[in-house]
Structure 1
């Protein structure tokens, strides 16, 4: 993310907690963010930084000028963070809201992932789940392209569909975002398999190599079938979190899902 490099020049010793997002019309874009993950070529990274720039949202301040702030109350850390005025070309400090119910409703209406509610006197606990912080997620619906399927692993159910491998289209092709198995048991899986068998292909349609743990026994298909899945958004590695199957979208084509296309259905953090 070369567009974020300047943030490190603001202060010589600064440790933040935040999130990187790609915005499309002011809303976090699922497809746009997936396209930015796993880019190792510097020239490609610079090009994507211009075409699909990322923004860093600073949520918390953990260290400043060598001073560990993690045990300070959240209100103190937040006040110090705001005094830093981190408002650059590609980074910002989003506002805090005190009406949790209204914010939860507003984020649901906007198709956002959800909210995090924090006790004002809470410390920051690195790597730990804190009872002082409550995540209230919406399970967002996202349209994806099916690029392959895996059979169920048990011998008694050999030949039955166990999961589909899905991705989102970008400038470089279809970017793999995960494996979806929940919701595909029984008739739903059988009906989908009937539609996938005629689409079988000899190679993976994804732009990058699918992790071996996901690609085991995979049957690749031409990436022409669009479906909706529910999830808790993307992980830091660009994968769907806790995805579940909703159904095929015969009214959409893969081109409809490309970033910036009005017909794309997106729901993300």
Structure 2
């Protein structure tokens, strides 16, 4: 089963209001479905990939009675999610390393919807009924409920003040629609975040003439980003040069090896200043990026790479 997705609102003013809506914090983490219908817990990412091994501290979820719970895996620092702290955990496959990281930087599973309980499918029931069943459960260690609020304005102000990602509005009567981006859930962020594909890279020290300022330079200096539109064509999102240092940049450079292609896989023309010195690659590696806003042409302003996100769906390109 795939998680239900929210449509995007441009800002607070575009979020729906009224008694038929409730509001939640938009958590900045990894979306996951926790499935205990077999008696053990299995965690699945939005792509469907099994990510159970990466988060051993969430084994207590197995106590939930034959349930499927939708939620977000986060690392909380003073009550606020730290995506940077979570990034180190996201791609761990080795059990011993996962246990070491769990002891050093444990995650929390923030639950916000209940799809199955005692083996019974609840997806066709209204949100208020699913939430009541969710709140009645006994929650194990390293888990918590995502609170709901009746009013948008106070939650918007608090999330902005505390550096949280944004707010999610949900229609109280809505069913759970697996895999669908539904207008019954609407999200707005204080800052833009998205998953994009890397379609090209430039080495550190590349100048505007397209030459590396350092002979034999290998570390990434910038990556070119894209997303697929409704037809499947790749649209250019811009160039990101921040967030590529240290282990993150090294991991990304390794992930791009073997994906080189002779030209850009893009429908849009790339500005000459961005394209100089670029090695083009197949759009198979995703990165999580934060940005200030989108321009009228759809480009991201001042994008920063926050994490490597392989094996996840790339968020679609939408007209700004």
| TM-score bucket of the superposed structures, by smaller chain | 0.5 to 0.7
SS in 2 for 1:117: strand
**Matches of 2:188 and 2:258, distance apart in 1:** 29
Tell whether the 8 Å contact from 2:116 to 2:122 is kept in structure 1 after alignment. yes
1:183–1:209 Cα change, 3 Å = closer
Give 1:165-184 correspondences, 5 Å limit.
Answer: 165=223, 182=238
| 2:70 and 2:112 in contact (8 A); partners too | yes
Q: Which whole-Å CA distance do the structure 2 matches of 1:84 and 1:158 have between them?
A: 61
Change (3 A) 1:209 1:91: farther
Alignment of 1:209-248 (within 5 A): 210-212=254-256, 216=260, 239-241=287-289, 243=291, 244=300, 246=302
Counterpart Cα distance in 2 of 1:160 and 1:132: 50
Paired residues, number: 189
Is the contact between residue 289 and residue 303 of structure 2 (CA under 8 Å) also seen in structure 1? no
**What aligned pairs does 1:47-58 form with structure 2 within 5 A after superposition?**
47-58=100-111
Out of 49, 60, 67, the residue aligned to residue 6 of structure 1 is 60
**Residues 213-245 of structure 1 deviation map (CA, whole Å, 9 limit, x = unaligned):** 89748xxxxxxxxxxxxxxxxxxx983146445
Q: 2:222–2:239: 8 Å Cα contact kept in structure 1? A: no
3-state SS in 1 of match to 2:99: helix
Counterpart CA distance in 1 for 2:237 and 2:176 is 35
Per-residue displacement from partner, 1:59-79 (whole Å, max 9, x unpaired)? 000001121101100000000
Q: Deviations over 1:90-143 (max 9, x none)?
A: 0111211111122112111111111110011011101001111111112169xx
Find the counterpart in structure 2 of residue 98 from structure 1.
150
Q: Deviations over 1:172-230 (max 9, x none)?
A: xxxxxxxx96367xxxx9xx9xxx9xx9xxxx95246643289748xxxxxxxxxxxxx
Aligned to 1:169: none
TM-score, normalising length: structure 2: 0.51
1:238–1:115 distance in 2 versus 1, CA, 3 Å: farther
Q: Distance in 2 between matches of 1:14 and 1:20?
A: 17
- Residue ranges of structure 2 left out of the alignment (5+ in a row): 1-54, 194-199, 213-219, 225-235, 262-284, 292-299, 305-320
Aligned pairs (5 A) from 1:1-269: 1-11=55-65, 13-86=66-139, 88-139=140-191, 149-150=201-202, 159=210, 164-165=222-223, 182=238, 206-207=250-251, 210-212=254-256, 216=260, 239-241=287-289, 243=291, 244=300, 246=302
Distance in 1 between residues matched to 2:303 and 2:167, nearest whole Å: 27
User: Are residues 246 and 73 of structure 1, via their aligned partners in 2, closer, same or farther at CA, if it must alter by over 3 Å?
Assistant: same
Deviation, 1:10, is: 3.0
- Structure 2: distance between partners of 1:118 and 1:66: 25
Distance in 1 (CA, whole Å) between partners of 2:108 and 2:186 is 24
Q: String of CA shifts for 1:223-268, please: whole Å, max 9, x gaps.
A: xxxxxxxxxxxxxx983146445399xxxxxxxxxxxxxxxxxxxx
Residue ranges of structure 1 left out of the alignment (5+ in a row): 142-147, 152-156, 167-179, 218-236, 249-269
1:85–1:37: structure 2 CA closer, same or farther, 3 Å change rule?
A: same
Q: 1:46 deviation in Å?
A: 0.3
